[in-house]
Amino acid sequence: MPGKPTKRKAAVDTKAKKTPTKKVRVDDGGASSDSGHGLRWINVGDAHGGLYPLIAYTSDTLEGVEKVAGFDIDFTIIKTASGKKFATGPSDWMFWDDKVITKLKELHNDGYRVVFFTNQGGIEKNKVTVSGFQSKAEAIIRDLDIPVMVFASTGTNMYRKPYTGMWDYFTENCNQGVKVDKSQSLYVGDAAGRAKNWAKDKPKDFSCSDRMFAANVGVKFYTPEEFFFDQPPAPFQWRSFDTKEFLKKNPPISKQADKSDYTSKTQEVIVMVGPPATGKSTFRKRYLEPHGYVTINRDTLGTMAKCLKVAEQTIQSGKSIVADNTNPSVAKRSEFISLAQDAGIPCRCIWMQTPIELAHHLNMFRQRQTKDAVRRVPDVGYNIFKKDFQAPTTAEGFTEIIKVNFTPRFDDKSDEELFQHWTD
Model confidence at 25: pLDDT above 70: no
Stated pTM of the model: 0.86
Res 17: pLDDT: 35
Calpha distance 370→358 (Å, rounded): 18
Contact 162, 421 (CB under 8 A): yes
| Non-local CB neighbours of 365 within 8 Å, separated by 6+ positions | 418, 419, 421, 423
Say whether 353 sits in a helix, a strand or coil.
Answer: coil
pLDDT (mean) for 165-169: 97
Res 12: pLDDT: 35
pLDDT tens by residue, 404-416:
999 999 988 999 9
pLDDT tens by residue, 180-239:
999 999 999 999 999 999 999 999 999 999 999 999 999 999 999 999 999 999 999 999
Res 256: pLDDT: 85
Q: Give 244-294 as a 3 state SS string.
A: HHHHHHCCCCCCCCCCCCCCCCCCCEEEEECCCCCCHHHHHHHHCHHHCCE
Res 14: pLDDT: 33
Phi, psi dihedrals of residue 137, rounded to the nearest 5°: -60, -40
Res 37: pLDDT: 80
Res 36: pLDDT: 57
Is the CATH code 3.40.50.300 the one for domain 14-229?
Answer: no
Distance between alpha carbon 135 and the CA centroid of its chain, in Å? 26
Could you tell me which of 349, 381, 370 has the C-alpha nearest to residue 283? 349
Residue 191 burial class via C-beta count within 10 angstroms: exposed 0-12, middle 13-18, buried 19 and up: buried
Select, from the ranges 34-38, 256-260, 390-394, the one with the highest average predicted confidence (pLDDT).
390-394
pLDDT tens by residue, 297-337:
988 898 999 999 999 999 999 999 999 999 999 999 999 99
pLDDT (mean) for 252-275: 94
Calpha distance 160→27 (Å, rounded): 19
Calpha distance 376→381 (Å, rounded): 10
pLDDT (mean) for 339-348: 98
pLDDT (mean) for 159-167: 97
Calpha distance 114→69 (Å, rounded): 5
| Non-local CB neighbours of 172 within 8 Å, separated by 6+ positions | none
What is the domain partition of the chain in residue ranges?
A: 14-229, 269-419
Res 15: pLDDT: 34
- CATH class for the region spanning 269-419: alpha beta
The alpha-carbon radius of gyration of the chain (Å, integer) is 26
Q: Among 12-16, 29-33, 142-146, which stretch is predicted with the lowest mean pLDDT? A: 12-16
Model confidence at 122: pLDDT above 90: yes
| Non-local CB neighbours of 413 within 8 Å, separated by 6+ positions | none
Model confidence at 422: pLDDT above 80: yes
Model confidence at 367: pLDDT above 50: yes
Q: Are the folds of 14-229 and 269-419 the same?
A: yes
pLDDT tens by residue, 144-157:
999 999 999 999 99
- pLDDT bin (cut points 50, 70, 90) of residue 372 is confident
Res 49: pLDDT: 85
pLDDT tens by residue, 34-90:
545 899 999 999 998 889 999 999 999 999 999 999 999 999 999 999 999 889 999
Res 26: pLDDT: 35
Res 411: pLDDT: 85
Average model confidence (pLDDT) across the chain: 90
Model confidence at 32: pLDDT above 60: no
